[in-house]
Amino acid sequence: MSEAAIKLTKGELEKMLAALMRDRTVFAPGSTGAKLEYLPVDDVSDIVFGDELPYKSPKDVFFPRCEKIVTFSENGAEAELPETQTVLFGARPCDLEALDMLKTILTQGKFKDPFFAARYENALIIGLACAEKKPGCFCDQRETDLDYSEKCDLFLRADGDKFEVLYVSDKGKKALGAHIPGLEQFKNTPREFRPAETLSLDAAEDDLFTKIDWEEITETCQSCGICTYVCPTCHCFMFKDVEEDDKAYRYRNWDSCMFPKFTLHASGHNPRAAKRERYRQRVAHKYVYIKENFGMTACTGCGRCIRSCPAGMSIKTVVEGIREELQ
Amino acid sequence: MNMNPYLPLKAEIVDIVQETTDSELDVKTYALKLGGGAKMEFMPGQFVELSAPGVGEAPFGFASNPLRNDTIEISIKRTGMVTDAIHSLEIGDSIFIRGPFGNTFPVKGLEGSDILFIAGGLGLAPLRPLITYIFEEENRAKYGKIQMLIAARTPTDFIFFRDYAEWRKIKDVEITLTIDNEVPNWAERVGFPHNLVTEMSFDLEKTYAVLCGPPIMIKAVSQKLMEMGMPQDRILTTLEMRMTCGVGNCGKCNIGHQYVCVDGPVFSLAELEGMPDEY
């Protein structure tokens, strides 16, 4: 076995992605104008390489912002599960961590979300290391190594004008093997995870409700919900029915715990009517409730909510403040 | 339960009973039969999501006997878009249903105990599966004395009124009806449940209280029961929340680390005391 790792030039990588495009839909960082996001691309020249982190997470590749989940007709109700084979290219370690969490939450609980599960099973996920931390990122404090993740099929790291490639899963090995003859001769050593100081909350639920001044914390919050929109782990949703011709369709859309109507009962009663209650829900759900249910904190430190907030709020600062308060 | 928890089944409305007709309290009970002779197995306390296609979907508790599930009954108050649409349906029309969801009343745990049911208004509907389950001939002897305090605003606001005479014929069953304000020709009680419960005699050591009604009634009655010395883990209720998915994914009914749709809707007061007050 050679000591050399697999390295591809950008041209070789593009060739591989172009080949994958023949029978798969490839989602990769691209731009529709102003901002970088994960878009379906049908030409490798549309892929934006580089170290910029797309403003929105790639969660909608698996959990679209809007998707049809039921068709009602005279014959009954039917559902079509997604069958498209996809590639997600360029997902960063924080996002790979988040997708793995979504997989756990949505497919390993009591009920399996068949739409998410089908999309996840049909995807080849190619991760990409971040060269540098971006302003607002705190992945190093959230158990995410910006340089490596094994929660994907293939993992890439930019190295000069080349990309070092690691295969992580069998699916990844097979996909890479189709383009690199003699795959076994190369070194494929996963990097060791580098744990760092962890920003987490070990608070009792009750303390979060009684000892923290959420009114003050949320003074500037606009309840706009952008934090939940760009977040890689937020997954709340609502259903919306639409009638067209003789049929009715049910769509699943992203919803947000930041919106006043999120918990509004038909009777008018609203368990979380105030902004401070809704924001508390978001922080507590990510840092306390999911940890209680699944053993993990559903924040990867990707910094997107911090960079996107029009009021300059930071979940990192808020969590640090709570830790101090409850010490 | 099919593999896709979001996919509803088609059912036919085989009967509709107009329970109350007040413009502010228009309640109808729908009897539904699943397509193709299928049956929905459920237990007392569970709920379903009912769809009016093209309008939307909402959660409702079962209101019928789980041991007689050739048809299932659901009581619906006209309140919003979905319930408006359902109220416009007629016998023979289709409706879509998915479930059952949620936990159940502890039917085994209640065996050997006396039970005090306290229901306010439409709150009797989600208790009816447990009541009728207990009153089944094969089950009746497993439970002790059954007392019911059923409250409604006015004499015409009671739901399942037709059941009361039958229930009163069953051994060791005592039913007290009460309304909010005095009216002519009303021979039963007047007053709110939390004021009447103190007059009822039950053995604190061997009674479970099972409550359902408006949140304010549940809070007032459970407070009174605790003052009377009833342990919190013997006071059971069922919560209402906005619930889109029914399977713990959509986030709406999340209270603390629990989800009303999977960890509830049945909770004991002891459990509720350990949860944030967000219901």
Sequential DSSP letters for A95-132 = HHHHHHHHHHHHHSSSS--HHHHHHHHTEEEEEE--SS
Which of A59, A239, A255 to probe the B interface (max B CBs under 10 A)? A239
Q: Is the CB of residue A47 less than 8 Å from the CB of residue A38? A: no
Judge if A167 and A220 occupy the same domain: no
Closest residue in B to A287 (Cα–Cα): B257
| Residue A199 falls inside a structural domain | no
Q: B65 to chain A nearest CA, in Å?
A: 26
Per CATH, B9-101 and B114-238 having the same topology is answered: no
Contact at CB, B252 and A263, closer than 8 angstroms: yes
- Pick from B7, B54, B79: which is nearest to A267 by CB? B79
| Residue A195 falls inside a structural domain | no
| Residue A160 falls inside a structural domain | yes
Judge if A243 and A275 occupy the same domain: yes
Taking the C-alpha atoms of residue A13 and residue B277, their distance in angstroms, rounded to an integer, is: 54
Which chain B residues are within 8 Å of A81, Cβ to Cβ? 4
Interface check A117 vs B, CB under 8 A: no
Q: Identify the pLDDT of residue B1.
A: 43
Q: B169 to chain A nearest CA, in Å?
A: 36
| Residue A192 falls inside a structural domain | no
Judge if A151 and A213 occupy the same domain: no
| Residue A87 falls inside a structural domain | yes
Number of domains in chain A: 2
For chain A, count helices (H), then strands (E): 11, 11
- Pick from A237, A255, A289: which is nearest to B254 by CB? A289
How large is the ipTM?
0.92
Q: Identify the pLDDT of residue B217.
A: 94
Interface check A79 vs B, CB under 8 A: yes
| Residue A10 falls inside a structural domain | yes
DSSP of A218-259, one letter per residue?
TTT-----HHHHH-SS---EEEEEEEETTEEEEEEEE--TTS
Judge if A35 and A153 occupy the same domain: yes
Beta strand pairing status for B189-190 and B173-179?
A: parallel
Contact at CB, A239 and B244, closer than 8 angstroms: yes
First to last CA, chain B: 28
Domain of A299 in residue numbering reads as 205-326
Judge if A63 and A182 occupy the same domain: yes
| Residue A310 falls inside a structural domain | yes
Q: Identify the pLDDT of residue A109.
A: 79
pLDDT in tens, A95-146: 999 999 999 999 987 889 999 999 999 999 999 999 999 999 999 888 888 8
* pTM assigned to the model: 0.93
Q: Identify the pLDDT of residue A296.
A: 93
Beta strand pairing status for A6-9 and A162-167?
A: antiparallel
Q: A136 to chain B nearest CA, in Å?
A: 26
Query: Where are the domains positioned within chain B?
Result: 9-101, 114-238, 240-267+274-279
Q: Which helix (H) or strand (E) holds B26?
A: strand B25-34
Residues 37-56 of A with CB under 8 A from B: none
Taking the CA atoms of residue A265, residue A271, residue A273 and residue A277 in that order, the dihedral angle to the nearest 10 degrees is -150
Taking the C-alpha atoms of residue B45 and residue A270, their distance in angstroms, rounded to an integer, is: 23
- Tell me which CATH code domain B9-101 carries: 2.40.30.10
Which of A67, A72, A259 to probe the B interface (max B CBs under 10 A)? A72
- pLDDT < 70 positions in chain A: 1-3, 194-195
Q: Identify the pLDDT of residue A185.
A: 81
Judge if A142 and A230 occupy the same domain: no
User: Which pair of structure tokens corresponds to residue B156?
Assistant: 């015409």
- Tell me which CATH code domain B114-238 carries: 3.40.50.80
Judge if A118 and A160 occupy the same domain: yes
| Residue A200 falls inside a structural domain | no
Interface of B with A (CB under 8 A): 3-10, 35, 51, 53-58, 79-80, 82-83, 96, 215, 240-242, 244-245, 247-252, 254-257, 262, 275-279
Averaged over successive runs of 10 residues, the pLDDT of chain B (279 residues) comes to 85 96 87 93 98 95 97 95 96 96 97 98 97 97 98 95 96 96 94 95 94 92 96 96 94 95 96 90
Q: Is the CB of residue B55 less than 8 Å from the CB of residue B65? A: no
Q: Give me the residue label for tokens 């899963």.
A: A169
Taking the C-alpha atoms of residue A120 and residue A167, their distance in angstroms, rounded to an integer, is: 18
